Chain A
Amino acid sequence: MNAFATGSITRAEHCVIACAEAWRGDGEILASPMGAVPSAGARLARLTFAPDLLLTDGEATLVGPDGEAEGWLPYRRHLALVTGGRRHVMMGASQIDRYGNQNISCVGDWEQPSRQLLGVRGAPVNTLNNPVSYWIPRHSPRVFVERVDMVCGVGYDRARAAGPSATRFHRIPRVVSDLGVFDFATPDRSMRLASVHPGVTVDQVRDATGFALTVPETVPYTRDPSPTELALIREVVDPARTRDREVRS
């Protein structure tokens, strides 16, 4: 087991751990992961250090880690759960800026976009009501931009400007990319490098980020999965290795 674990941990597996950590200490709330790596992370957290988390089957059923149904959550109740706040979602982002404003709607001029994407989806209601983290499988200056073209998920500066109703439940715990983990633990709530994944340099992160990132004097590495966690990732939560399709090692 140890030989299997040491030296052979992939980037995707560090990403799974970094995503799982987003839900640490969240208690009895719904973990809503979007994407293969966050899904593996949420299930890993549920199986280890966050046993009270609720998970869905991706449709309308609340399920245990073995798939056993324990509740019903169709879209209408899911939206009610969002506004009740007992949920921590990890969304994707086509663009994200230094204050955590996120875009999944379109690139370019909204009236006639150069690239139409999904639309705002539930990003506005999510960001004003429950903690929202982000997962970005390919860290690049095209994603980490100075200003997003359409604010779907509300960042710290925009929430502050919109007033108390916007800030009351607004929180962006973390951003995880294939290069590192980021948070907003700065005086002006701009993005900060919290850790780099093993094998990544701080300069690499800076080069791949389209805005000035706050970088502490010493940047820790994202932690390794324990042997138990690694076995769970490989054998239980993602035996089909869907994580490798999102993150190239």
Chain B
Amino acid sequence: MSTPPHVRDKTMTPEEVVDRLRSGMTIGIGGWGSRRKPMALVRALLRSPVTDLTVISYGGPDVGLLAAAGRIARLVTAFVTLDSVPLEPHYRAARQRGAFALTEVDEAMFMWGLHAAANRLPFLPVRAGIGSDVMRVNPELRTVTSPYGDGEEFVAAPALRMDAALVHLNRADRRGNGQYLGPDPYFDDLFCEAADAAYVSCERLVETRELTENSAAPQTLLVQRHSVTGVVETPGGAHFTSCAPDHPRDEPFQKAYAAAAADPAAWAEFAARFLPPDGDEKGYQQAVRAWHEEQK
């Protein structure tokens, strides 16, 4: 793949992405639950010393792994789930030992918070939250009253502005144009637009012209390069979450993860095998393949 000199090449390694992150940052993580999470970037984060993070995520195993490693100072979320396994054991354990601060908001408040940040607005009004304990557990939340005749009161969902966003897509080019090929874009475009720096990992790095080959519709081009700082090619980089149509969720592996996560001794073994501090993404993928061989 040759790159014309006038095209800015944004490709980097997972390690180079993480080198640009700092402890104390507010980091947004794309995907949804156990779906198309930028897991390779999360694994790189686990190998780095970066900590004390405010994490903004529709939470899945990304949150679980960071919580287990003690990297989260505050979590902003509406839920944490593994989808086919309803409860995330690491998240559960972290909450039950009071491991970090939580900003628990409704799914729609979260979405409007992303929109507000992407639009450089301090908030957006939303008919969600009032009457619920979301207001009790977030005493900083304010309401706004419609200036029109109806006079209705809404929650002012605060902008979820972030220092950096991490997302995983099916395809991307070197300039940062990102493409999703599955049924749902989730909110990855908004994460990128809501962040000062956004890093897109992808299943496959392609030439720009290849993005629309085979009649791929232009509306699959979810993320535009003006909102992207770095591009990382990480085949299987969403593993073990789903990344349709490239691969489904690795259900047996997720089950093994959840079982290990529920037991400290089993987790130490699991982490040593799949997430060694001196490892890399290639080593992880190899360890997963070997594990699947053993299961046969």
Q: Is the CB of A75 within 8 A of B153?
A: no
A93 at the interface (CB under 8 A from B): no
B residues in contact with A169, CB < 8 Å: 127
Interface flags, A58-101, vs B, CB<8A=1, else 0: 01110000000000101110010011000000000000000000
Q: Is the CB of A165 within 8 A of B86?
A: no
Q: Is the CB of A124 within 8 A of B128?
A: yes
Q: Is the CB of B109 within 8 A of A125?
A: yes
Q: Is the CB of A158 within 8 A of B132?
A: yes
A151 at the interface (CB under 8 A from B): yes
**Cα-based distance from A30 to B227 in the complex (angstroms):** 34
A164 at the interface (CB under 8 A from B): yes
**Cα-based distance from A111 to B107 in the complex (angstroms):** 20
Q: Is the CB of B108 within 8 A of A112?
A: no
Q: Is the CB of B131 within 8 A of A158?
A: yes
A residues in contact with B109, CB < 8 Å: 124-125
B196 at the interface (CB under 8 A from A): no
Q: Is the CB of A125 within 8 A of B108?
A: yes
A residues in contact with B257, CB < 8 Å: none
A248 → chain B, closest Cβ, in Å? Answer: 20
Q: Is the CB of B98 within 8 A of A111?
A: yes
Q: Is the CB of B79 within 8 A of A128?
A: no
A123 → chain B, closest Cβ, in Å? Answer: 7
Residue of A nearest to B89 (CB): A116
B residues in contact with A111, CB < 8 Å: 98
Q: Is the CB of B96 within 8 A of A124?
A: no
**Cα-based distance from A60 to B80 in the complex (angstroms):** 20
Interface size class of A (residues with CB under 8 A): 35 or more
B30 → chain A, closest Cβ, in Å? Answer: 12
Given A112-B98, A124-B129, A162-B130, answer yes or no on A74-B152 (Cβ-Cβ < 8 Å): no
B87 at the interface (CB under 8 A from A): yes
Given A75-B184, A121-B78, answer yes or no on A166-B32 (Cβ-Cβ < 8 Å): no
B residues in contact with A128, CB < 8 Å: 127-128, 130-131
Residue of B nearest to A159 (CB): B131
Interface size on B, residues (CB 8 A): 41
Residue of B nearest to A168 (CB): B152
Q: Which of B96, B128, B134, B184 has its CB near the most chain A CB atoms (within 10 A)?
A: B128
A residues in contact with B77, CB < 8 Å: 119
A105 at the interface (CB under 8 A from B): yes
B92 at the interface (CB under 8 A from A): yes
Q: Is the CB of A152 within 8 A of B133?
A: yes
A residues in contact with B111, CB < 8 Å: 76, 79
A186 at the interface (CB under 8 A from B): no
Q: Is the CB of B184 within 8 A of A151?
A: no
Given A60-B183, A75-B187, A120-B132, answer yes or no on A165-B154 (Cβ-Cβ < 8 Å): yes
Residue of B nearest to A148 (CB): B133
A36 at the interface (CB under 8 A from B): no
Of A61, A117, A122, A161, the residue contacting B108 (CB under 8 A) is: A122
Q: Which of A105, A124, A164 has its CB near the most chain B CB atoms (within 10 A)?
A: A124
Given A121-B79, A128-B128, answer yes or no on A110-B133 (Cβ-Cβ < 8 Å): yes
Top 8 nearest A-B pairs (CB, nearest first) are A125-B128, A119-B79, A162-B131, A125-B108, A60-B183, A112-B98, A116-B95, A154-B131
Q: Which residues on A are within 8 Å of B, measured CB to CB?
A: 59-61, 72, 74-76, 79, 82-83, 105-106, 110-125, 127-129, 150-154, 158-159, 161-166, 168-170
Q: 19 new A-B pairs (CB below 8 Å) besides A76-B187, A151-B136, A166-B131?
A: A61-B183, A75-B32, A76-B186, A113-B95, A115-B92, A120-B133, A121-B78, A124-B108, A124-B128, A125-B128, A129-B128, A152-B132, A152-B133, A158-B131, A158-B132, A159-B131, A161-B131, A162-B130, A164-B153
Q: Which residues on B are within 8 Å of A, measured CB to CB?
A: 32, 59, 77-81, 86-87, 91-92, 95-98, 104-109, 111, 126-134, 136-137, 152-154, 183-187
List 26 A-B residue pairs with CB atoms under 8 Å apart, sorted by A's residue number: A72-B183, A74-B183, A76-B111, A79-B107, A79-B111, A105-B104, A106-B95, A113-B95, A115-B96, A117-B87, A118-B87, A119-B59, A119-B104, A120-B79, A121-B78, A124-B128, A124-B129, A125-B126, A125-B129, A127-B132, A151-B131, A152-B132, A159-B131, A163-B153, A166-B130, A168-B152
